[in-house]
């Protein structure tokens, strides 16, 4: 009988985010494959988990996957963890999971924290559909080429970024996507200095340029359609009335959508305007 590979999420900063199930699975498996065994030892000690550790990282993935598959085929169950968050999400693990699937070895997710999902959930940006692109390219040329590809995406685009590159990346985002592009930047999620910046790319650069940027970051770029509308609701109502043949009903609908406001609020404003006129 094959063993099972458990893909176990671990905290992204706050040790209390470990699930009961993650602790139990890590205690019960024969072996834990960890990205950095010294780093993970601290977490395991905190939860009195004495299971043996073996390294599994981007430099030994191929060779180690074969070894781990042999153990799984021998009936041993193994847990895969990364330094933080969910393995395989911008972290090693894909190759091992792929091999398990090919060999018919069961793979079970033990879900929990992921910086990507945590950031999206508090960003205030649309999350009904989003695109995750991993880390932004490190060099300017590659980054600008990449931003050109995503600048018109009509979904929230989520990426990981290193703190020492944030200012250059924001400058490139402004150059390619515009200073008015909505953006949210989640820093140090679940940790003491957690913060979420929300505004435009231009304002983000101004804010983060005030000091040295530290800690871990997720950048969320609002959809290309989501630019902050210019002027007030009243300006927009007047402009559309003057410049188009649309009915008041149609105008109210458009303006409500543009400003992200409820139809009834914009309708009330349009009534006041009509009375004044």
**Tokens coding 128:** 């009904």
Distances from the Cα of 93 to the Cα of 41, 52, 119, angstroms: 19, 18, 22
133 near ligand SAM, judged by CB under 6 A: no
Q: Please identify, among the stretches 142-150, 197-205, 212-220, 232-240, the one whose residues bind ligand SAM according to the rule CB under 6 A.
A: 212-220
**CA 82 from centre of chain:** 16
Q: Which CB sits closer to ligand SAM, 161 or 269?
A: 161
Q: Which residue is nearest to ligand SAM (CB)?
A: 85
Beta strands in 65-194 (DSSP E): 78-81, 107-110, 130-135, 156-161, 182-187
User: Whole-number minimum distance, CB 136 to ligand SAM, in Å?
Assistant: 10
Distances from the Cα of 174 to the Cα of 164, 178, 255, angstroms: 17, 4, 26
170 near ligand SAM, judged by CB under 6 A: no
115 near ligand SAM, judged by CB under 6 A: yes
160 near ligand SAM, judged by CB under 6 A: yes
Q: Which CB sits closer to ligand SAM, 25 or 160?
A: 160
CA distance 257 to 110: 39
Given candidates 218, 233, 252, 256, which one binds ligand SAM under the rule CB under 6 A?
218
Q: Which CB sits closer to ligand SAM, 116 or 252?
A: 116
DSSP symbol at 125:
S
Strands 31-34 and 52-55: parallel
**Tokens coding 12:** 């992204």
φ and ψ at residue 6, rounded to 5 degrees = -100, 125
Residues in the interface with ligand SAM (CB under 6 A) total 22
Q: Which CB sits closer to ligand SAM, 24 or 39?
A: 39
Q: How many residues appear in the chain?
A: 277
User: Whole-number minimum distance, CB 71 to ligand SAM, in Å?
Assistant: 23
Q: Which CB sits closer to ligand SAM, 116 or 256?
A: 116
10 near ligand SAM, judged by CB under 6 A: no
User: Whole-number minimum distance, CB 84 to ligand SAM, in Å?
Assistant: 5
x/- map, 74-93, ligand SAM, by CB under 6 A:
--------x-xxx--xxx--
Strands 156-161 and 217-221: antiparallel
**Tokens coding 191:** 């940790």
The residues binding ligand SAM (CB under 6 A) are 12-13, 82, 84-86, 89-91, 114-116, 160-161, 186, 188-191, 216-218
């Amino acid at each position: 009988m094959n063993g099972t590979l458990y893909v176990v999420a671990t905290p992204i900063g706050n040790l209390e985010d470990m699930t009961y199930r993650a602790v139990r699975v890590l205690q019960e498996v024969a072996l834990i494959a960890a990205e950095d065994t010294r780093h993970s030892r601290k977490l395991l000690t905190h939860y009195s988990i004495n299971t043996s550790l073996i390294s599994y990282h981007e430099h030994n993935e191929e060779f180690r996957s074969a070894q781990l598959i042999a153990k799984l085929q021998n009936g041993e169950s193994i847990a895969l963890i990364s330094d933080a968050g969910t393995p395989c999400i911008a972290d090693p693990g894909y190759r091992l999971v792929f091999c398990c699937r090919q060999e018919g070895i069961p793979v079970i997710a033990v879900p929990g924290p992921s910086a990507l999902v945590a950031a999206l959930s508090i960003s205030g940006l649309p999350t009904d559909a989003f695109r995750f692109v991993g880390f932004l390219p490190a060099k300017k040329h590659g980054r600008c080429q990449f931003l050109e590809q995503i600048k018109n995406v009509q979904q929230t685009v989520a990426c990981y970024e290193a703190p020492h590159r944030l200012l250059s990346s924001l400058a490139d985002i402004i150059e390619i996507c515009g200073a008015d592009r909505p953006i949210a930047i989640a820093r140090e999620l679940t940790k003491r200095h957690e913060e979420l910046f929300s505004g435009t790319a231009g304002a983000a650069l101004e804010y983060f340029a005030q000091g040295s940027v530290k800690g871990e970051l997720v950048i969320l770029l609002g959809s290309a359609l989501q630019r902050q509308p210019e002027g007030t609701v009243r300006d927009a109502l007047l402009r559309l009335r003057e410049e188009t043949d649309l009915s008041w009903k149609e105008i109210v609908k458009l303006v409500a959508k543009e400003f992200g406001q409820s139809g009834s609020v914009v309708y009330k404003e349009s009534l006041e305007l009509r009375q004044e006129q």
